[in-house]
């Protein structure tokens, strides 16, 4: 089966005197195995990249989670050591990429940091250190040397009736592995809240007027995509949207 190309965001990290542009393995594996697409890493070089040419070549965009946070300067806040670390090169790449992908109808799946980037790109703001806000629960991972324990499926979220995700999961409650310390505060003007946690924290959004699939989730479906049905479903829905976009593009190319 043909694997359509999907652009994947990268983090900029320093390791052994090199600067690396990289993405965690579990996102790439889920893209290949659950979505059936070919992930292509996009280096975080900001304005040096011709994003229009990139979007001419790919049929989807996936934004990964990360330890870093979106710099608050992008939504009217102030950077601080407590809120960091930041990855300004990633911000400079993903924020314009999101806006252009939505404009062109290229399917978009935004996970964890990705949903926060999606919100900021569309004019929204973020709440930092959610666990310190009165009435909110602690959404951070438990302290453990085991990644399986840290990313265990333990938190219920409620999918809104009639939402895009209701078409994927059905309306009502599902269990997820939401691991984060900041979240959407004020949603961007074009965003629709698709799912919330028990404490009201926004856990999923869609872009209301997007011409293509455009979904963000705060949880981590990539981690259990090989063994958890709900985790796999979001990737399958994304993969289907990517293949549909690829088919339309092939049709237009043939017509020309």
Q: Tell me whether residue 220 is one of the annotated catalytic residues.
A: yes
Q: Of the listed 139, 180, 220, 245, which one is catalytic?
A: 220
**3-class secondary structure, 63:** strand
What sections of 7-50 are H helices per DSSP? 25-30
Q: Of 176, 230, 253, whose CA–CA distance to 34 is shortest?
A: 230
Q: Can you tell me the distance from the alpha carbon of 87 to that of 35, in angstroms, rounded to the nearest whole number?
A: 27
Q: How far is CA 69 from CA 3, 29, 214, in A?
A: 31, 23, 21
Report which DSSP code applies to 236: H
Residue 108 — φ and ψ, nearest 5°? Answer: -130, 130
Q: Tell me whether residue 139 is one of the annotated catalytic residues.
A: no
Q: Of the listed 112, 117, 164, 194, which one is catalytic?
A: 112
Q: Of the listed 117, 194, 203, 222, which one is catalytic?
A: 222
Q: Tell me whether residue 164 is one of the annotated catalytic residues.
A: no
* Residues involved in catalysis: 112, 220, 222
């Amino acid at each position: 089966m043909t694997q359509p190309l999907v652009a994947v965001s990268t983090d900029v990290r320093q390791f052994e005197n090199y600067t690396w542009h990289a993405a965690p393995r579990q996102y790439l594996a889920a893209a290949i195995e659950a979505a059936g697409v070919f992930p292509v890493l996009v280096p975080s070089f900001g304005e040096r990249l011709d994003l229009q040419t990139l979007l001419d070549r790919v049929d989807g965009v996936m934004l990964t989670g990360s330890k870093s946070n979106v710099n608050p300067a992008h939504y009217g806040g102030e950077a601080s050591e407590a809120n960091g670390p930041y990855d300004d090169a990633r911000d400079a790449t993903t924020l314009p990429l999101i806006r252009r992908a939505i404009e062109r109808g290229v399917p978009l799946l935004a996970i964890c940091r990705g949903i926060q980037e999606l919100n900021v790109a569309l004019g929204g703001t973020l709440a930092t250190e959610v666990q310190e806000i009165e009435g909110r629960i602690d959404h951070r991972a438990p302290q453990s040397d085991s990644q399986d324990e840290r990313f265990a499926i333990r938190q219920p979220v409620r999918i809104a009736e009639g939402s895009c995700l209701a078409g994927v999961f059905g309306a009502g409650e599902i269990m997820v592995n939401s691991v984060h310390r900041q979240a959407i505060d004020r949603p961007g003007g074009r965003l629709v809240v698709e799912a919330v946690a028990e404490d009201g924290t926004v856990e999923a959004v869609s872009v209301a007027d997007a011409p293509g699939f455009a979904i963000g989730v705060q949880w981590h479906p990539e981690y259990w995509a090989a063994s958890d049905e709900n985790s796999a479903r979001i990737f399958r829905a994304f993969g289907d949207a990517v293949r549909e976009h690829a088919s339309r593009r092939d049709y237009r190319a043939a017509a020309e």
